Structure 1
Amino acid sequence: MVTVRLASAADADAIGRVQVESWRAAYAGLLPDEAVAGFDVASRRQLWREWLSGPPRPRSATFVVEDAGEVVGFAGIGPSRDPDGGEQAELYTIYLLPSCWGRGVGRALMLRAEEAMRSSGFRTAVLWVLDGNERGERFYRAAGWERDGQTKVDQFQGETITEVRYRKRL
């Protein structure tokens, strides 16, 4: 049984593990091996402990998805951080354990995140995905998201990366 709920500080360790396992699988071949090998569970857990224990952030939320009582994925939403963001939401992050890919678990999590963005008064949302992450892009397109032509160059794990933006009317 898959359930989606709001995350709490008690979920930080599981979220950190999910994030690193997902990154290692998703970014292998897209980032240099040493960058992928450098993904660190302990630092991710600490980051999530601090984030989930911090003060509430307006119109923002973090969700976890559980399968048989185990946290197998998470998503974070809030106001867009883009300079042209205006009154739109952003799907900050969505990751699943690789064993859950292609089983509908991510779709359930995405639907809950989109519902929360709508409930917070947003009418459109954006997300950023690593250029070349074909699995991720297929997932977003299947959920009704479309590339909007925007790109950005960023730093991730010491590597310069290019991300592409997707947009969806909520």
Structure 2
Amino acid sequence: MIADSVRLALPAEATQIAAIQRRGWVQRFPQQLADSVLAELDLADMVESWHGAIVRPPLAQFRVLAAVSDDKVVGFAAVGPSDDDDAEPGVDGLVAEFTIDPPAQRGGHGSRLLNACVDTLRADGFERATWWVRTTDDALRGFLIEAGWAPDGSHQEIGTDDEQTRVKLIRLHTDITD
């Protein structure tokens, strides 16, 4: 048995990552939004996209991390420079994606993955990490606040033009300097 760990994702794991992302969306988003998004995104296209992000990241500081248990991917995260309009280049890093497979939740994988995200951003020279969180995701927000993150007052909405499939987000941040 191999110990639970977090490492850079391997190209061959793109299929597992895409499947975990889809299951995570079903769990996290309102059903109508999840159904709408999943209907428009083909699994094969998602796999290709994740494979490309792992093999040919869009930026040198973009990383896909995999939480692994018994040689199986149980979660993933994507981190890199923040693309927010108010981000300071070279200072603000972003946790852009973060999902623990629903059956693997509450097993310590989220804490390990969160620590790896911060360590990776810090190693890439960032001083602050940011993360957009659904306003209704009390569990994730509580997890992050307990880990030292705090809201910074920024908010946005994502989704379709239909008001029923829009999601409100708040931005959390944390200082990651040593």
Could you tell me the TM-score, scaled by structure 1's length?
0.88
Percent identity of paired positions between Structure 1 and Structure 2: 25
Match of 2:94 in 1: 90
* Inter-partner Cα distance in structure 1 for 2:160 and 2:85: 20
Structure 2 CA distance for partners of 1:156 and 1:129, relative to 1, 3 Å: farther
Structure 2 CA distance for partners of 1:155 and 1:32, relative to 1, 3 Å: closer
Letter in 1 for 2:36: A
Query: What's the secondary structure of 1:57's corresponding residue?
Result: coil
Q: What is the correspondence of 1:135-146 to structure 2 with a 5 Å cutoff?
A: 135-146=139-150
Cα offset, 1:32, TM superposition: 4.4
The answer (yes or no) to whether the contact 2:4–2:70 under 8 Å persists in 1 is: yes
What is the RMSD computed on CA atoms of the aligned residues? 2.2
Does 1:64 find its partner at 2:70?
A: no
Cα offset, 1:71, TM superposition: 0.4
The answer (yes or no) to whether the contact 1:27–1:36 under 8 Å persists in 2 is: no
Match of 2:106 in 1: 102
Query: What's the secondary structure of 1:43's corresponding residue?
Result: helix
Letter in 2 for 1:64: A
Please identify, of 90-99 and 45-54, the stretch whose mean Cα deviation from structure 2 is larger: 45-54
Cα offset, 1:88, TM superposition: 0.8
Please identify, of 57-66 and 43-52, the stretch whose mean Cα deviation from structure 2 is larger: 43-52
Structure 2 CA distance for partners of 1:34 and 1:119, relative to 1, 3 Å: closer
Letter in 1 for 2:106: G
Number of residue-to-residue matches in the alignment: 169
Cα offset, 1:28, TM superposition: 4.3
Does 1:5 find its partner at 2:7?
A: yes
Please identify, of 136-145 and 113-122, the stretch whose mean Cα deviation from structure 2 is larger: 136-145
Could you tell me the TM-score, scaled by structure 2's length?
0.85
Match of 1:35 in 2: 36
Query: What's the secondary structure of 1:49's corresponding residue?
Result: helix
Query: What's the secondary structure of 1:132's corresponding residue?
Result: coil
Letter in 2 for 1:61: R
What 5-or-longer segments of structure 2 have no aligned partner? none
